[in-house]
Chains A and B, each alone.
Chain A
């Protein structure tokens, strides 16, 4: 009996706890899960180059695209892709994981040059753009790539355009294509970078976009 009395005195009784306070608030919660990445490879819908000394001439049907820093015959390339032609279509709410502009060297590169990619700020047409009427380009460089001396025909050169493509997809900026130009225009007797255009028989420009939605 003594033992039983002691057990009653010290054994744990029903569980006890401190005061539990639950504060409610108005809450709205959503979860958005993104699926497996999809990749879309696009061909250019328009490309051309412009030449400073031939300021009124259009080169939209040429099989090459030229970039040159030469002070007299400065050359710039314009190129555009239709993102709406991706299948399945890239929704405005997609996250662009990567976007790479791929151009192929058409003639041996004789000097290493840095070529800058900028978004075009006005509309242009493949068969109408010239040095005189070329669209302005963004002051901010989207991507800068060194094209190495000794690069032979068939070498693929890439520029990362993820930020621009994301902006095109969301509508934050209009897809008016890009301008490629040498980072140091104004050089005397500057070399020419020759790339394949969409009219070439091989090595046509591509834009490879990977996204999730």
Chain B
């Protein structure tokens, strides 16, 4: 017993030290964590069409996006062209709240070379 008692005390002290070291690396901010679901509505469900305009240097300057549902009027259309790994050109435009025809032309910045583009991503936010 006299031999075991110092060992037990040493183990307890070591555990306390380890516990202190571990605890100081943990954020202790108090707050709340919530979870839930929310419905996300889409104003268009049947796809878009794209028509490209290329300048004499071979760069895509504008993209005309069509077949946009009239329900999207008042929203914002953002278009991004990629080369498969990164954005090579993008643009956005507000869809008119009134008189919207279902088609808009978006100027791209920067204007990508037409042989760089492998995909187009369009997002309409709102209305």
Interface of A toward B, CB cutoff 8 Å = 2-3, 6-7, 10-12, 15-20, 22, 24-34, 37, 92-98, 140-143, 160, 162-163, 166-167, 170-172, 210, 212
Contact = CB atoms under 8 A, between A and B. Distances in A.
Secondary structure dominating the interface of B = loop
Nearest to A25: B125
Contacts of B42: 26-29
Given A93-B49, A166-B54, 6 more contacts: A11-B22, A28-B43, A29-B42, A34-B117, A95-B52, A171-B51
Given A28-B124, A33-B119, A172-B51, A11 B23 contact: yes
Q: Using C-beta atoms within 8 Å of the partner chain, give the interface range for chain B.
A: 35 or more
B93 interface: no
A97 B56 contact: no
Contact of B58 (A2, A34, A140, A160): A160
Nearest to A161: B56
A16 B29 contact: yes
Given A6-B19, A20-B33, A26 B119 contact: no
Interface string B78-121: 00000000000000000000000000000000000011011111
